């Protein structure tokens, strides 16, 4: 097939969508610019597809579903492993695309954004090969079957990682998909689509339609031939998708916002607990839904925490994401930059203690959506900066007087996506972790585990991604009574 974006260059127009294994022209004449957030220059134009384009993609996926669902497990696993291989082979151009479309530092794109995305594919193939799609319960067979055609809606902050976290388990389960990547960061999605085709995934199994949420996202959510919608995005977007999907009673999986706590227990070694906490809160320039942006610390150790936190942030290098010395690039787009600036201003007006950072751009970075890593202390739970998701390099430090209060503060949020606990007494750390209302809790900064299910309590969503549970989201359960007679 023709490679539509073999090389990234300025002002390129991508007016095709992937339907039924072919790059075809969209019926739309509308486009949106893809902006490099480091210099605010237009690097590409992406077509904004129509509802008719969605119909064509869904039709292709529906036609391909019976054959893909019947494809032997070993063959599906082999093809997924080929996708994994191609991601690794093309890692550098993928990292370049991610850096240019959403501003990730190249070092971070190469060491996290791309390899973690590849891991989702490898894990999906591994889980598929060993999964018991049928087992007996007495004389009844419990079968798990692919749910059907899935609409997948992914965000701009981890553009490739979130795609593979959905596409890989869906394909492993035997589903066919229509992907709508963010129109703000679509380049890595186009490169991934090339990889899927080059890996030999059958035509129609994977389809890509670029466009906006109100047009393409809503069309997918409401489409009668879509059996499931999975979205990663804001809580507001998740609510709109759920409402749109309700009339057709399709399954909806939501991975939404967060305001994750990081509880520093009284016995924690602050030199081990605070620096990684600051780094994690600002990882990906704070543009991660599970970022631990509320550091909850013992009041009698607040001054020491403040000192270590400020010293840690001072080591960050904000600048050109293509410079190997840069640790933190720009905010991904203008709207998010303005949101971050607004929320920093809110924190100052609320009377929180500003340890470092603040509004405005770092000195010497007047062009681009660069923000100062910002830390507030002496924050109380009623402050907006303790409750609202900022989605930028902003950390708030909240003091507590007892472990009971620390747990209450951790749970004082409408969200429940991720959480952290730091302490040397593991029994106490486990007990606190067990009391936090969150879909995932990390004790003492463990290594990332792609097999650990990820998803939210409360307004952080429903359903799970990653690991076996991530694949099971795309499966229906069928009971066949009398399958094995007495």
Which are the catalytic amino acids? Answer: 255
Q: At CB < 8 A and 24+ separation, what contacts does 39-42 make?
A: 39/367, 39/368, 40/334, 40/367, 40/368, 40/369, 41/10, 42/10, 42/11
Q: Please report which residue ranges of 70-203 form alpha helices under DSSP H.
A: 73-89, 91-102, 106-108, 114-130, 159-173, 187-198
Structure tokens belonging to residue 76: 């599906």
Other beta carbons within 10 angstroms of residue 385's beta carbon come to 24
Structure-token pair, residue 365: 């970075």
Map tokens 């999605």 to a residue: 189
- Of 440, 453, 429, 423, nearest to 260 by C-alpha is 440
Return all residues near 280 (Cβ < 8 A) that are at least 6 apart. 262, 291, 292, 420, 445
Tell me how far apart the alpha carbons of residues 383 and 289 are, in angstroms, rounded to a whole number: 19
Question: Quick one: CA dihedral 301, 304, 308, 309, positive or negative?
Answer: positive
Q: Which of 219, 124, 112 is nearest to 172 (CA)?
A: 124
Rounded Cα distance, 305 and 92, in Å: 38
Residue pair 146/161 in contact by the 8 Å Cβ criterion: no
Distances (CA, A) of 288 to 292, 394, 435: 9, 12, 23
CA angle 202/182/385 to nearest 5° reads 140
Query: What six digits make up the tokens of 168?
Result: 């890989």
Q: Residue 398, SS3?
A: strand
Nearest to residue 45, comparing CAs of 9, 82, 78? 9
Q: Where are the alpha helices (DSSP H) in 103-158?
A: 106-108, 114-130
- Going from the C-alpha of 103 to that of each of 98, 121, 180, 325, 420, the distances in angstroms are 7, 24, 20, 14, 27
DSSP 8-state assignment for residue 293: -
Task: Give the residues across from 376 on adjacent strands.
Answer: 354, 396
């Amino acid at each position: 097939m023709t490679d539509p974006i073999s090389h990234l260059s300025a002002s390129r127009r991508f007016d095709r969508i992937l339907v039924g294994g072919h790059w075809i022209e969209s019926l739309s004449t509308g486009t949106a610019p893809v902006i490099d957030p480091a210099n605010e220059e237009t690097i590409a134009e992406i077509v904004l597809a129509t509802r008719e384009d969605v119909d064509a993609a869904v039709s292709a996926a529906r036609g391909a579903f019976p054959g893909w669902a019947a494809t032997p497990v070993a063959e599906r696993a082999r093809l997924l492993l080929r996708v994994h291989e191609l991601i690794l082979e093309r890692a550098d151009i993928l990292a370049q695309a991610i850096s240019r479309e959403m501003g990730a530092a190249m070092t971070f794109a190469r060491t996290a954004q791309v390899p973690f995305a590849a891991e989702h594919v490898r894990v999906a193939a591994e889980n598929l090969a060993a999964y018991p799609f049928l087992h007996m319960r007495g004389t009844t067979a419990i079968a798990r079957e692919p749910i059907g055609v899935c609409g997948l809606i992914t965000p701009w902050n981890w553009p490739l990682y979130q795609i593979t976290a959905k596409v890989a388990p869906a394909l492993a389960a035997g589903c066919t998909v229509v992907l709508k990547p963010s129109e703000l960061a679509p380049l890595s999605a186009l490169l991934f689509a090339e990889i899927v085709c080059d890996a030999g995934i059958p035509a129609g199994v994977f389809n890509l339609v670029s466009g906006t949420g109100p047009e393409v996202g809503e069309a997918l959510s409401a489409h009668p031939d879509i059996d499931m919608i999975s979205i990663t995005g804001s809580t507001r977007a998740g609510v709109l998708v759920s409402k749109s999907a309700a009339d057709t009673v399709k399954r909806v999986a939501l991975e939404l916002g967060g305001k994750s706590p990081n509880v520093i227990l009284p016995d924690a070694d602050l030199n081990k607990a605070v620096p990684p906490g600051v780094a994690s809160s600002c990882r990906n320039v704070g543009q991660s839904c599970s970022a631990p942006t509320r550091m909850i610390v013992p009041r009698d150790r607040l001054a020491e925490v403040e000192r270590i936190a400020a010293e840690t942030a001072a080591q960050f290098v904000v600048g050109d994401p293509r410079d190997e010395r840069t640790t933190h690039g720009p905010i991904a787009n203008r709207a998010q930059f303005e949101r971050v600036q607004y929320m920093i201003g809110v924190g100052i007006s609320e009377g929180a203690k500003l340890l470092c950072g603040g509004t405005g751009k770092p000195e010497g970075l007047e062009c681009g959506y660069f923000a100062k890593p910002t830390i507030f202390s002496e924050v109380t739970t009623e402050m907006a900066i303790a409750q609202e998701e900022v989605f930028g390099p902003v950390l708030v430090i909240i003091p507590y007087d007892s472990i009971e209060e620390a747990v209450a503060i951790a749970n004082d949020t409408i969200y429940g996506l991720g959480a952290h606990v730091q302490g040397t007494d593991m029994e106490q750390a486990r007990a606190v972790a067990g009391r936090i209302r969150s879909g995932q809790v990390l004790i003492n900064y463990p290594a990332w585990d792609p097999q650990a299910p990820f998803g939210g309590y409360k307004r952080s969503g429903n359903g799970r991604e990653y690991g076996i549970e991530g694949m099971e989201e795309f499966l229906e359960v069928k009971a066949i009574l009398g399958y094995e007679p007495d």
